Amino acid sequence: MKELFSLLENSSYCVVLTGAGVSTFSGIPDFRGSSGIYNEFDADLIFSIEHFKKEPSYFYGHSKDLIYNLEHRQPSIVHRVLSELEEREIIKTIITQNIDMLHQKAGSKNVIEVHGSPQEYSCLVCGKKYTYEYIAVLLRTEDVPTCNECGGLIKPDIIFYGEMLKQDVIEKAIEESSKADILLVLGSTLVVQPATSLPLYTIENGGNLVIVNNMETPLDGYAIELYKDLGDVFISIAEHFDIDL
């Protein structure tokens, strides 16, 4: 892993892209993968905007472990090392496909959530905004949170299937990927947009791609370094950079 250490040490603008593999690593089910507990439900249905509008209790009932018991989840070594490397100004930005907020919980400041965030909520009727904390408390007694102004249905600002990605967020992610001299892809199979195309902006602008994922990705051929095991890689990085965990 000497190559990777040297790339990180000499990088002037390292950007990280994280996917479901990083969440699975801290015990959060990969709800779109094959081994998640969501197999017994229909993950496509949980995150379908059409279905949410018809039967919101399906989403709120089935997403509890994924989203609303986060206080019981701890950031993994991957989240903690990334946060420390940002503190040391080696990493500039984390772009994440995850909706578990664990990068923020680990202390990372500059996080771009391309699939939205359960940190914020909006009433689908009047647009009133709510916070995760408010909704999490409400869900202890209610099956579905409704607006205290108009009684409308409240939805998390997560991008559901059938919804457009947020253009300003995507533009920011493209800008950061283009600036990156290293894009470090962690636990993403790079098959869902915008993750599929972000590495191409890095490469087009002369940056290097490093991929750590336990499965093949369509962009493996572009990577200058490829690793399989997130745990091995991050234990080694922590040792090399003398990071106390």
Binding site for Zn(2+), residues?
123, 126, 147, 150
CB of 157 to Zn ion, least distance (A): 15
Residues tagged in the binding site annotation: 123, 126, 147, 150
235 touching Zn ion, by CB under 5 A: no
Burial 169-185 (b: 16+ CB within 10 A, else e): bbeebbebbbbbbbbbb
In whole angstroms, the minimum distance from the beta carbon of 125 to Zn ion comes to 5
Shortest distance in whole angstroms from residue 169 CB to Zn ion: 24
Q: How far is CA 20 from CA 180, 181, 203, in A?
A: 22, 24, 23
Clarify whether 72 is annotated catalytic: no
Cβ count within 10 A of residue 82: 28
123 binds Zn ion (CB under 5 A): yes
Residue 135 binds to Zn ion (criterion: CB under 5 A): no
Q: Does 147 bind Zn ion (CB under 5 A)?
A: yes
Token couple for 94: 């984390």
Q: Would you say 28 and 73 are in contact if contact means Cβ atoms under 8 Å apart?
A: yes
Phi first, then psi: give them for residue 209, nearest 5 degrees. -110, 130
Give the residue, chosen from 32, 105, 128, 172, that forms a contact with Zn ion under the rule CB under 5 A: 128
Distance CA 195, CA 137 (A): 33
Q: Which of 92/155 has CB closer to Zn ion?
A: 155
Q: For the chain, how long is the longest CA-to-CA vector?
A: 59
191 binds Zn ion (CB under 5 A): no
215 touching Zn ion, by CB under 5 A: no
Q: Which is nearer to Zn ion, 27 or 151 (CB)?
A: 151
The reply to whether 126 sits near Zn ion by the rule CB under 5 A is: yes
Q: Helix axis angle, 230-240 relative to 2-10, nearest 10°? A: 60
From the list 75-83, 147-155, 202-210, 237-245, the region that binds Zn ion by CB under 5 A is 147-155
The DSSP symbol for 147 reads -
- Note the residues at the interface with Zn ion (CB under 5 A): 123, 125-126, 128, 147, 149-150, 152
Residues designated catalytic: 115
